[in-house]
Amino acid sequence: EINEIAVVGSKFMLEKAIDADIGQNGLQLKPSDNFILKLHDQSDGGKKVEMILQKPLDREKEETVSLLLTAVDGGEPQRSGTMLIHITVLDANDNAPVFTQSIYKASIKENAVNGTLITQVSATDADKGSNGEVSYVIGNSMTSTSKLFAITEEGNIILNGQVDYEKAKMYEIDIEATDRGGLSDSTKVVIEISDINDNSPVIQIISISESIVENCPSDTVVAIMNVNDPDAEENGKVHCIISKNIPFAISSS
């Protein structure tokens, strides 16, 4: 078992060799991408063989490595022995979580109830076991915005209060995904609030004449008023009518 973060030059001792007659050329390791062999003479006449890492391992690419060590002696007839070396590459937390999108967009109606599922974010981590377990938090936790939304362990973003289109038409929240080893990624969620017709028009009298003379000319301004509806577009358009059969009309200015 060798950890994937083992550095180049790390040495791994193999069983004491083998046959005193074997020289450096009589030993072969295949394939030889990751390791080279080094032979040491021992004082007792035996030989010690070391495998030396020359190219880093990466569990996310190769979880096991199988090597064949062959020893050939110089005798006549030539004799050889082989040994199979199975290496399990152990995981290190060498990958950070990565969000599937750098920005997520969602939209809810302003009358959405507390607890409404808004959208789901997701980050994946190539590492194994707890090194690959991701948890989510809402980033801007100092602001009131972050309290208005909550995120579950599964990355579901939930409405945690009440929104009002007339107060805010859009929210932007930062989400951070962290693995158990502390590596993280962040993403942004833009939540648009859509309008519903939840406001009635309000009529406000700005000025009005207490009385008018009976011979006052047509088109004399008698009162000025303001009509307002804070809803958006069609929901906010107002249409004014005045009683029929009275000597007054309204016009827009």
Residue nearest to ligand NAG as judged by C-beta position? 114
How many Å apart are CA 161 and CA 138, to the nearest integer? Answer: 15
Instruction: Report whether 84 contacts 166 (CB < 8 A).
Output: no
Distance of CA 86 to the CA centre of its chain: 36
Dihedral pair phi/psi, residue 42, rounded to 5°:
-100, 160
- Tokens for 236, please give them: 């906010």
Instruction: Report whether 35 contacts 28 (CB < 8 A).
Output: no
CB of residue 197 to ligand NAG, shortest distance in Å: 22
Nearer to ligand NAG, 75 or 115 (CB): 115
Contacts of 94 (CB under 8 A, 6+ apart): 4, 5, 60, 127
Per CB under 6 A, which region of 20-28, 155-163, 204-212, 239-247 contacts ligand NAG?
A: 155-163
How many Å apart are CA 57 and CA 63, to the nearest integer? Answer: 9
CB of residue 150 to ligand NAG, shortest distance in Å: 8
How many Å apart are CA 50 and CA 158, to the nearest integer? Answer: 57
Confirm or reject binding of residue 160 to ligand NAG (CB under 6 A).
yes
Report the residue from 70, 162, 197, 200 that binds ligand NAG according to the rule CB under 6 A. 162
Q: Which amino acid is at 87?
A: I
Nearer to ligand NAG, 147 or 237 (CB): 147
Q: What residues between 112 and 131 interact with ligand NAG by CB under 6 A?
A: 114-115
Nearer to ligand NAG, 158 or 222 (CB): 158
Report the residue from 16, 75, 161, 197 that binds ligand NAG according to the rule CB under 6 A. 161
What is the number of H-type helices and E-type strands within the chain?
A: 2, 18
User: Locate tokens 């967009």: which residue?
Assistant: 105
Tell me, by CB under 6 A, how many residues bind ligand NAG.
Answer: 5
Confirm or reject binding of residue 156 to ligand NAG (CB under 6 A).
no
CB of residue 136 to ligand NAG, shortest distance in Å: 17
Per CB under 6 A, which region of 74-82, 139-147, 154-162, 218-226 contacts ligand NAG?
A: 154-162
- Tokens for 168, please give them: 């805010």
Nearer to ligand NAG, 28 or 119 (CB): 119
User: Applying CB under 6 A, which residues contact ligand NAG?
Assistant: 114-115, 160-162
